[in-house]
Amino acid sequence: MRIPHTTVMAAATLAAAAHGVAFAAQAYPTRPIRIVVAYTPAGATDILARVIGQKMNEAWGQPVIIENRPGANGNIGTEYAAKAAPDGHTFLMTTAGPHGINPSLYRKLGYDAVKDFTAVSLVALVPNILVVNNALPAKSVKELIAYAKANPGKLSYGSPGAGSTAHLSMELFKSMTGTNLVHVPYKGSAGVLTDVMGGQIAATMDNMPAYLPQVKAGKIRALAVTPNKRSPAAPDIPTVAEAGVPGYNSSAWFGLVAPAATPKDVVSKLSAETARILQLPDVKSRLSELGAEPIGGTPEQFSAHIKAEIEKWAKVIKEANVELQ
């Protein structure tokens, strides 16, 4: 049977198109890559972006440029990345702020955390740690809950800013335990650490790396870490869930996202490369120094994580009646 010429031509066209897509994925990247960081240099987000970027450069031979666009709790850089061309050469190293907390914290955002982005890969988790000053009689989470209930509104806790994971992690703790602690916002973690050591505030639930050395030195007391499993950096410290608040789970997290409509083959390649990088011994060592746990995973898994985080923090923010303009 003779096959019509038009059928042959159509099949050839489809084959060529498929070959073109495969070739494009194989050739990627074809020029320098930008990773936008919506925070200042030298912070955890920036460091993680540079670690990942350096390894991508070594593997692919293309420069990876880290572009810092700080401001407004990460909103400025995130909006900037959302409006970038979806050509596979611009990505954002995002956090629990822009893609978890901020969608419910601000009345107006210049981006949609779900619709304007394509998830690439969860990169790392950084535990928060619940610490109290040494003068406080509570030596466990259960004792802190009991003491706070016996002294409603008399205990204060610090955070590095309104809307930070430290702030909302404690608000989640308050909601789940029925306690009343007064929030004292600071302009960064340094002031929080100083005042919890000095006894000016009772507690904090901030990112672990800055606090762990002072815990080990005996200057403050650690009661728990906030994820749903213990931290390899402090395996002797129980989780909040283990210590008396079943179901509690909160972490600072970091991940790569791309502008919406970025080609799926590029997203898949970048996700796989990120997973490979996170298993490198020197990368694991560097992340461990930051108190970070490498994660990786598929774009689908990270997309589900983002949606779950937005839902979780929306409930916490509503119950705590927190809103920023």
So where are the chain's domains? 32-126+251-320, 127-225
pLDDT at 324 over 80: no
Give residue 280's pLDDT: 97
pLDDT band (50, 70, 90) for residue 51: very high
Neighbouring CB atoms inside 10 A of 196's CB total 27
List of residues 6+ apart from 64 with CB closer than 8 A: 32, 33, 34, 35, 53, 54, 56, 57
User: Cα(119)–Cα(304) distance, rounded to whole angstroms?
Assistant: 9
Q: pLDDT, tens digit, for every residue of 262-302?
A: 999 999 999 999 999 999 999 999 898 888 899 999 999 99
pLDDT at 88 over 80: yes
From residue 236, alpha-carbon distances to 33, 216, 232, 242 in Å are 41, 11, 9, 12
pLDDT at 2 over 70: no
Q: In CATH terms, is domain 127-225 a member of 3.40.50.720?
A: no
Do the domains spanning 32-126+251-320 and 127-225 agree at the CATH topology level?
Answer: yes
CATH class belonging to 32-126+251-320: alpha beta
From residue 84, alpha-carbon distances to 41, 88, 266 in Å are 21, 10, 15
Give residue 22's pLDDT: 44
pLDDT band (50, 70, 90) for residue 15: very low
Average pLDDT over residues 230-259: 94
Q: CA nearest 94: which of 111, 81, 107?
A: 81
What is the pTM for the complete model shown?
Answer: 0.79
pLDDT at 323 over 80: no
pLDDT at 197 over 50: yes
Higher pLDDT, 91 or 21: 91
Lookup: tokens for 68: 């810092």
In the chain, the percentage of residues whose pLDDT exceeds 70 is: 92
Q: Which residues pair with 132 in a beta bridge?
A: 203, 221
Write down the mean pLDDT value for the chain.
Answer: 90
Q: Which residues pair with 294 in a beta bridge?
A: 124
pLDDT at 78 over 70: yes
Give residue 26's pLDDT: 64
